[in-house]
Structure 1
């Protein structure tokens, strides 16, 4: 079981479903949520400021969000400013099935996989094998 994960999605129903499925699957002790990429980046800035010490071990990331989408988040998260977090793996969890998005995801070394919504217990079992927990 992971200690902490971060779910980044603008849809409150998706976030609620993620929490429910993750809790039922005993996948993580703590689930942190962010409504967009900017909110997620701000969460990581709290570590630098010493306001938080709970670093997620995995990020579930939606692509299409207002303010800052998943691609913009990954672009920022890949910079040297966030290099101390580059061991955190990202699972893109999106409703898109565009082959170009699948190829684009491969350009980010922290992206472990690209999975289709909605999250399911079977999906979490698969993710466990990918991250070996």
Structure 2
């Protein structure tokens, strides 16, 4: 079981469903949510300010969000200021469409370990448990 994960998605219903499925599968002790990439980066900024070394081990990241999308989040998250976190945190990109270009683009980011289709399922989490 993971200690903490971060779910980044602009749809509140999707976030609620993620929380339900994740809780039922005993995948993590704590679920943090963010509505967009900027909010997710602010979460990491607060961890740094508070010297909280317990960052999420895994991020479920949507790509298409207002304010800051998934690609912009990844571009920023790879910067040196997030180095204490981006080496410890794995990212799974979740998308409602599986565009081969998006899959290929996600491979440019060392923290991205997979590209999966929405929604999260219990079976998906069981497979991830074995990999993580």
TM-score between both structures, scaled by the size of structure 1 = 0.95
Taking structure 1 as reference, are residues 88 and 36 closer, same or farther at Cα in structure 2, changes over 3 Å only? Answer: same
Q: Which residue of 1 aligns with 2:123?
A: 122
Q: CA deviation at 1:113?
A: 0.2
The alignment status of 1:41 with 2:52, answered yes or no, reads no
Taking structure 1 as reference, are residues 51 and 13 closer, same or farther at Cα in structure 2, changes over 3 Å only? Answer: farther
Superposed structure 1 runs of 4+ greater than 2 Å apart: 51-54
Measured against aligned partners, the alpha-carbon deviations of 1:45-92 in whole angstroms (never above 9, x if no partner) come to 012211755411100000000000000000000011101112200011
Give the aligned CA root-mean-square deviation in angstroms: 1.1
The CA distance in 1 between the partners of 2:26 and 2:34, in whole Å, is: 21
Q: CA deviation at 1:129?
A: 1.9
The alignment status of 1:12 with 2:12, answered yes or no, reads yes
- The 5-angstrom pairing of residues 50-69 of structure 1 reads 50=50, 52=52, 54-69=54-69
SS of 1:13's partner is helix
The CA distance in 1 between the partners of 2:66 and 2:5, in whole Å, is: 21
The aligned length equals 131
Q: Which residue of 2 aligns with 1:98?
A: 99
The CA distance in 2 between the partners of 1:90 and 1:2, in whole Å, is: 14
SS of 2:120's partner is coil
SS of 1:113's partner is strand
TM-score between both structures, scaled by the size of structure 2 = 0.95
Q: CA deviation at 1:130?
A: 2.0
The CA distance in 2 between the partners of 1:126 and 1:76, in whole Å, is: 29
